Structure 1
């Protein structure tokens, strides 16, 4: 299996560590309504992961995403996450959907010259566009 999408508030048996043990060659992981997800640390075990979607109301840190060096697509919607500076370390990232916490994040903290960043609304897009060299493109998600 190369792609996995999980939707729902119930953790799969064994959680993320078990998924990583059983599916080490996973390239796409989509976690929707994943309020069971509170620790992203095992994400580094997915050595081939290049697409990640995280939607969780309980996840408060994405620091472990730095352990996924091949990530090219990242869709983040986690209102409890305040620090996304680690995203600037993802050198292969081409597309970033930053739903939450886009409005609260200082775009100066990130430098993603080769990345297209999708943000949730026009005011956020305008704020991000004011930072020269911030990203290849800034787009509003629903435009």
Structure 2
């Protein structure tokens, strides 16, 4: 569906489906139908509980309407430069365009910070699988590098 028709279609879907689902623009010519309360922030909460991670320790990246709750939930919610207006309005921070490896650029900055490295290392050793970092991302670019805590 052309992106310019999505705002017109969302209220129609809401009228037809009521409160059963939320019609959320994802960009790229599509609309997600999401059950209330089932969203990316919910998935983050589950991982955080399992690994003992607080909201202020979470970095998330988003570019469209289906990322809003996640960006609000994360202590560091980044909207990509190519993000839709809804995503940019709730994110606390801006990241470069996803086609310019914007997520990797921000991850590099976060990992360069001494306090962030200490925090990540302590959490990885105590709670998560050894050497693994979990990042919530909506970046559709290709990630060519992987970060492992043991290399920092």
TM-score relative to the length of structure 1: 0.33
Q: Which has the larger radius of gyration?
A: 2
TM-score w.r.t. the length of structure 2 is: 0.32
